[in-house]
Amino acid sequence: MIPFGEMTTQFQTIEPEIRRAIDEVLASGWFILGKQVQAFEEEFAAYVGAKHAVGVGSGTEALHLALRAVGVGAGDEVVTVANTCVPTVSGIAFSGATPVLVDCHPSTLTMDPNRLHDAITTRTKAIVPVHLYGHPCDMAPILAVASRRGIPVIEDCAQAHGAEYRGARCGAFGAAAAFSFYPSKNLGAYGDGGAVVTNDPALAQTVRMLRNYGEERRYHHTIQGFNSRLDEMQAAILRVKLKHLDAWNEARCNRAAAYTRQLADVPLVLPAEASWAKAIYHLFVVRCDRRDALQEHLKRREIGTLIHYPIPIHLQKAYAHLGRSTGDYPVAETACQQVLSLPMYPELPDASITAIAQAIREFFG
């Protein structure tokens, strides 16, 4: 049996470091907004190549607070893509704004910069490109449209810790970026967590206040805020795991290369890495016209797969009020019917990749 994902092998490789980090937090008697969060924020900002990181409760909250910090609120519009993980739009909705969707590019399945112009109105107050599956968006044309219109860009980096666009890591291209440390992400906590990354000290300070009841200094609340903090335990765990992130990303890339080699002669669309991209393969997503039958075939051979994502945002019941329907985002809609995520994690054994490739070849006869 080959599971879609598996976390215990990785835990075993870092178990002594993790236990030491957790013990240190327990012994300190300090659990919220202390030394671990502060140290992680500095280390993570340095990793991304940005000046500031602010630890928050989740990736959804990172989007929400970053949007609030750039002034987004009720009545505003925020542009993102139709094919993303639902929390991208949850974060936008949380800020009070209305999500406005654009279609994706047929090659990378990330935001199509050519569609952006038509989606922008006088009410557009932010653009949220999503570095989907760990492959960066084509940021230059997105940033060009945004700066021409004076609209801040908030990158959704939940699937892109360490991914690079033209040699620079994702997360420092726009006004701010939102990261998630959900356990299965490339950098995952053992619980929920997230971070807002930015080069703007005022924006970082606003997020620091928003995450902690709007407090500027103890008992002085200058804005209305929330409770959305990364906790000391998760920060200590993330500090251990951050040291391994590059090696784990490299291991994912090697596995992607192995899949690509072994599936070269099969009639599947394999993930294409753009010339300007360094992808970090949060997911390894193939496309197939007979996706459901292929998934069923692999299931019978005890190979776990998932679909990211089966339903585009505009066809979700929760977002029916956006007033969009089938046919509005044809590239995203087709992708939703064709995408299939194969097992992908740094410890995935070579033998499993060979067995998966073999089972896929069998499907195509």
Ligand X SMILES: *Cc1c(COP(=O)(O)O)cnc(C)c1O
Residue closer to ligand X by CB (options 153, 357) is: 153
How far is the C-alpha of 226 from the C-alpha of 223, rounded, in Å? 10
Residue closer to ligand X by CB (options 182, 284) is: 182
Residue closer to ligand X by CB (options 81, 298) is: 81
Judged by CB under 6 A, does residue 237 bind ligand X? no
3-state secondary structure of 188: coil
Cis check for the bond before 309: say yes or no (omega within 30 of 0): yes
Q: Which of residues 192-221 bind ligand X (CB under 6 A)?
A: 192, 194
Judged by CB under 6 A, does residue 159 bind ligand X? yes
Q: Closest approach of Cβ 82 to ligand X, in Å?
A: 13
Look up tokens 């070579």; give the residue. Answer: 350
Judged by CB under 6 A, does residue 234 bind ligand X? no
Q: What amino acid is encoded at 78 in this protein?
A: V
# residues near ligand X by CB under 6 A: 15
Judged by CB under 6 A, does residue 186 bind ligand X? no
Q: What beta strand segments (E) does the chain contain?
A: 52-56, 77-81, 98-102, 124-127, 154-156, 164-165, 168-169, 176-180, 194-198, 215-217, 220-221, 277-278, 284-287, 339-342
Bridge partners (DSSP) of residue 47 are none
Judged by CB under 6 A, does residue 341 bind ligand X? no
The contacts of residue 294 (CB under 8 Å, 6+ apart) are 288, 340, 360, 363
Judged by CB under 6 A, does residue 271 bind ligand X? no
Judged by CB under 6 A, does residue 136 bind ligand X? no
Residue selected from 72, 130, 146, 238 as contacting ligand X according to rule CB under 6 A: 130
Judged by CB under 6 A, does residue 235 bind ligand X? no
Residue closer to ligand X by CB (options 135, 353) is: 135
Q: Which two tokens stand for residue 318?
A: 């929760």
Judged by CB under 6 A, does residue 80 bind ligand X? no
Residue selected from 156, 231, 232, 333 as contacting ligand X according to rule CB under 6 A: 156
C-alpha distances (whole Å) from 183 to each of 7, 58, 253, 318 are 9, 11, 19, 25
Site string for ligand X, 86-115 (x = CB under 6 A): -xx---------------------------
Q: Give the footprint of ligand X on this chain (CB under 6 A).
A: 58-60, 84-85, 87-88, 130, 156, 158-159, 180, 182, 192, 194
